[in-house]
Structures are given as C-alpha cells and as structure tokens.
C-alpha cells in the first residue's frame, strides 16, 4: 500500500501552505502545528513531512522548536527539511527529534557536503529533495531553476547511496489539480527500486489511488487535507 505522508509547512511557527512555492501566496491554516500533527497521528498516520519555510529562505534552520514540540508530543516519524545547509543545522534537526532530513538546494549547490551527509548518516536518514519545473531541478525554496536535468541528477545520487527521493513538481504544488503521475512513472521506469515520494498537486483520495496504481511507493499531501478535499476520515478508512 502507498505510504501517505502529510505535510506541515511552517512560517512564523504556524502551519501554512503556499501555492507554487510563492511566499506571497501564503495561507495560514493553524496557529498550532503540533495540534495538526496530533490529528494525523490519531487517524493512524505514521510519517510526517515537516518543512521549515522560514529556514528555506534564511538558508539555516529556524523552526526547530516546532520540530521539537511535535517530536515530543507525538510518535510520528518526522522527516524535516528547509534551509539545512550545514553540519550544525543537521545536528540541531536530529537533536530536536527528526528521524530523517531532506536536502534539496544543498544537493545541487554543495554536493560534497550533501554526499558527506549520506556517508555519515546513511540512506535511512538522508532523503534527496528533487524539486522540479519542466524536468529541471529548482532550488532556494523554488526561487530559481537550474540547468540540471531531473533523471541524471537523481541517478547520480542514487549511485552515491540515496534510496529515498521526494520529487515535487512545482507547477502542480498547492494547485489541487492532480499530481504529475506520468513524470513519476518515467522516474520509476528508469529506477524501479527507488523509494519515490510523490509531492505536489494531490487533490483527492482518487489521486492517491492513481499514484498507488502507477506503482509510486509514497505520497506527500498537504493542501488537499487543509482545504477539506481529503478528510481525516478518508485517511483513516484508507489506512484501515
């Protein structure tokens, strides 16, 4: 069964969502992210994708206290991302309760640092974040697109030991218009044993079922839950 991983995005300590990564298109859904995390845990969710959007902008960890609170008040397995650029950022994230971290921009701009993290912590704890626009990798909270092509980029890190990749299609993110299922099929056709985590565009349980049918191992969903397109009962029923 496909693993459903809800996302909590944090700005100013609050649970928010952006549309297509645009900080000017911000909507606050809850002032208390740990309350949201608890609701997910209560319906049977095991994993949480926690994104420090302030950190992504500041290029260092910012909302580690939110991470710590969720980690100490739930038993969710948290993967944490957003602005992790140094060994010190990683130390703080792991000390505050993250079981895994996601590195995106760092994997493009400082590959030596990211590879050293893979060597030091292993593929169990390091996830590659491959944010993509027109199959080109995007970085810095999606504020810039690079010339790096998606498949060779992921393949190079797979050879370096990565086995979990979150692939977000920026054009779909927060738009509730369906995920890039064809893109995910293309990635899995190239690397069938990759633990690919689809992200962006999920608008309904049917989207999740379609991704499962396409063989995608895991999916991140955020806005569809916050906008009531996917209800907590839907998640509970699916997980049952």
Q: What is the pLDDT of residues 160-175, one digit of tens each?
A: 999 999 999 988 877 7
Please say if the pLDDT value at position 12 is more than 80.
Answer: yes
Task: Check: CB of residue 76 under 8 Å from CB of residue 49.
Answer: no
pLDDT of residue 43: 97
Q: Which residue has the tokens 């500041």?
A: 58
pLDDT of residue 171: 82
pTM over 0.85: yes
Residue 9 bears catalytic tag: yes
pLDDT of residue 205: 98
Task: Check: CB of residue 187 under 8 Å from CB of residue 151.
Answer: yes
3-class secondary structure, 156: helix
Angstrom distance (rounded) from CA 111 to CA 189: 25
pLDDT of residue 143: 61
Please compute the mean of the pLDDT values over residues 120-124 and round it to a whole number: 96
For domain 3-239, the CATH superfamily is Aldolase class I (3.20.20.70)
Quickly state the pLDDT bin for 208 (edges 50, 70, 90). Answer: very high
pLDDT of residue 23: 84
Please compute the mean of the pLDDT values over residues 53-67 and round it to a whole number: 95
Please say if the pLDDT value at position 218 is more than 70.
Answer: yes
Please say if the pLDDT value at position 1 is more than 90.
Answer: yes
Percentage of the residues of the chain whose pLDDT score is greater than 70: 98
Please compute the mean of the pLDDT values over residues 76-81 and round it to a whole number: 98
Please say if the pLDDT value at position 93 is more than 90.
Answer: yes
Angstrom distance (rounded) from CA 25 to CA 22: 5
User: What residues are paired with 128 via a beta bridge?
Assistant: 103, 165
3-class secondary structure, 19: strand
If we measure between CA atoms, which residue out of 80, 82, 83, 86 comes closest to residue 67?
80
If we measure between CA atoms, which residue out of 58, 146, 136 comes closest to residue 109?
146
User: What residues are paired with 4 via a beta bridge?
Assistant: 219
Residue of 9, 52, 89, 169 with catalytic role: 9
Angstrom distance (rounded) from CA 187 to CA 167: 10
pLDDT of residue 146: 87
Please say if the pLDDT value at position 24 is more than 90.
Answer: no
Report in angstroms the alpha-carbon separations of 137 from 131, 146, 168.
6, 6, 10
pLDDT of residue 20: 74
pLDDT tens-digit readout, 129-161: 999 988 999 886 556 788 999 999 999 999 999
Please compute the mean of the pLDDT values over residues 178-182 and round it to a whole number: 95
Residue of 52, 54, 89, 131 with catalytic role: 131
Residue 234 bears catalytic tag: no
Give buried/exposed letters for 53-76 (b at 16+ CB in 10 A, else e): bbbbbebbbbbbebbbbbbeebeb
Q: Which residue has the tokens 């991140």?
A: 220
């Amino acid at each position: 069964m496909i693993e459903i991983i809800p996302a909590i995005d944090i700005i100013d300590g609050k649970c928010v969502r952006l549309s297509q990564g645009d900080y000017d298109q911000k909507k606050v859904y809850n002032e208390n992210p740990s309350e949201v995390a608890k609701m997910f845990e209560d319906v049977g969710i095991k994993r949480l994708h926690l994104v420090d959007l302030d950190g992504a902008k500041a290029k260092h960890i910012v909302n580690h206290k939110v991470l710590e609170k969720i980690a100490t008040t739930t038993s969710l397995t948290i993967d944490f991302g957003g602005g992790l650029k140094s060994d010190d950022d990683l130390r703080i994230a792991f000390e505050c309760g993250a079981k895994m971290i996601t590195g995106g921009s760092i994997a493009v701009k400082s590959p030596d640092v990211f590879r050293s993290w893979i060597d030091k912590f292993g593929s169990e704890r390091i996830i590659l974040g491959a944010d993509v626009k027109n199959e080109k990798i995007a970085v810095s909270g999606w504020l810039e697109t690079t010339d790096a092509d998606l498949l060779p980029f992921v393949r190079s890190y797979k050879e370096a030991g990565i086995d979990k990749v979150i692939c977000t299609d920026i054009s779909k993110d927060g738009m509730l218009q369906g995920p890039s299922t064809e893109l995910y099929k293309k990635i899995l056709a190239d690397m069938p044993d990759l633990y690919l985590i689809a992200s962006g565009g999920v608008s309904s349980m049917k989207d999740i079922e379609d991704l499962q049918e396409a063989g995608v191992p895991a999916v991140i969903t955020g806005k569809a839950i916050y906008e009531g397109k996917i209800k907590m009962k839907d998640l509970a029923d699916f997980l049952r």
